[in-house]
Amino acid sequence: MDLLDTEYKRKSAILTAIIMGIMLFLIFTFGLKYLDPPEEYGIAVNFGTSDVGSGNTQSEPAPSSSASQEEVEEVEEVVEEVEEVPETPTEAVATPSKAEDVITNDNAESIKINKQKEAERKAEATKKRIEDAKRKADREAKQKAEQIRKQKAAEKAAKEAKEAKDRAEKAAKREGLDGMFDKLGKGDGTGGTGSGGDGDDGKAGDKGNPNGDKNASGYYGNGGGGSGGNYRLGNRKATSTPKPTYDCNEQGKVVVSISVDKSGRVLAATAGIKGTTNSAPCLLKRAKEAALKTKFNSDTNAPSKQVGSIIYNFSLSN
């Protein structure tokens, strides 16, 4: 039976032969290497007949065969001893290798320690920068708070100075008006005792009512002057209730809307709101002035601006 009867088998055989050839070539070219035996080492020894000697001339006859044989054995022993000597350098060479390993390990440990110290130094520097920034921010905040406090104190002082100036101007103006009315009311008229008078008309005489109060500031009515007022501010009570000045020939009820702070001071007043029966300007003015001078008891639980009202009844007769 023919083994290569088909084209496929023939191609397979050719391919197999090529692969085997390549493998054999590689094996004989690159493989099956061996090492030559090491060269032998020894020391040449000069033959002689004694253990001591001098000079360069060998005068003694050649040694006998028996002596030569003994010397040869001695030389072989010496050679064997010498051949064992090369083992020592091998151990000596190994020692520096270990020393190098130790030095390398020491260097690695030193590098690790240095890196750790460097990391600690950087962390400490970062911590210091953060603390410095925090201290700087606190210092700036304190300075800003101090500036704001000084500014508020200056504004408060300026406001108090302005209020004091306004009060002084009002007092001076009031005194000037009172002095002017006093001058106008005095003279040689027939009113009063004949030596002077009192009033706001600019004419001679002592204006007023015989049944009135000589210390009252009003000149109208029949001995009355109106009630002290009706104060309405929740549960809070009025602690100071000055009566309004009554200096006009009008009567009626005036209702004043007020705003009071926690300390009891009247902040604002509006006269003539709903419920007022007489809106004469003189009544409204005097009612507002009296309302602004009114004081209430302090209440820390009250609103910053509590709204209430005061009712003044102006009457020309009792």
Domains of the chain, each with CATH number or no CATH: 175-207 (no CATH), 230-314 (3.30.2420.10)
Position 91 scores a pLDDT of 45
Q: What is the pLDDT of residues 54-78, one digit of tens each?
A: 777 666 655 554 545 565 566 566 5
Angle formed at CA 103 by CA 102 and CA 105, multiple of 5 degrees: 65
Residue 22 binned pLDDT confidence (cut-offs 50, 70, 90):
very high
At 197, list the tokens.
Answer: 């008078």
- DSSP secondary structure letter of residue 105: H
283 C-beta neighbours (distance < 10 Å), count: 25
Q: Which residue reads 């306004």 in tokens? A: 166
Q: What is the pLDDT of residues 236-260, one digit of tens each?
A: 999 999 999 888 888 999 999 999 9
Position 305 scores a pLDDT of 93
Cβ neighbors of 284 (< 8 A, separation 6 or more) are: 254, 271, 272, 276
Alpha helices in the chain (DSSP H): 7-30, 65-83, 87-185, 281-293
Closest C-alpha to 296, from 221, 239, 244: 239
Position 247 scores a pLDDT of 83
Amino acid at 251: Q
Position 211 scores a pLDDT of 46
Cβ neighbors of 255 (< 8 A, separation 6 or more) are: 271, 272, 273, 274, 275, 276, 309, 310, 311
Q: How would you class 218 by CB atoms within 10 Å of its CB: exposed for 0-12, middle for 13-18, buried for 19 or more?
A: buried
Closest C-alpha to 243, from 263, 264, 213, 274: 213
Position 172 scores a pLDDT of 79
- As a whole number of angstroms, the distance between CA 116 and CA 207 comes to 104
Pairing of strands 295-296, 252-260: unpaired
At 13, list the tokens.
Answer: 């055989």
Q: What is the pLDDT of residues 256-290, one digit of tens each?
A: 999 999 999 999 999 999 999 999 999 999 999 99
Q: What is the mean pLDDT of residues 164-168?
A: 88
Kind plus residue range of the DSSP H or E element containing 77: helix 65-83
DSSP E strands: which ranges in the chain?
Answer: 230-232, 238-240, 252-260, 266-271, 295-296, 306-314
- DSSP secondary structure letter of residue 271: E
Position 295 scores a pLDDT of 95
Would you call 252 helix, strand, or coil by DSSP? strand
Does residue 219 carry a pLDDT above 70? no
Counting residues of the chain whose pLDDT is more than 90, the rounded percentage is: 42
Q: How would you class 270 by CB atoms within 10 Å of its CB: exposed for 0-12, middle for 13-18, buried for 19 or more?
A: middle
213 C-beta neighbours (distance < 10 Å), count: 11
- DSSP secondary structure letter of residue 295: E
Amino acid at 62: A
Does residue 33 carry a pLDDT above 50? yes
Is the CB of residue 225 less than 8 Å from the CB of residue 215? no
Counting residues of the chain whose pLDDT is more than 70, the rounded percentage is: 60
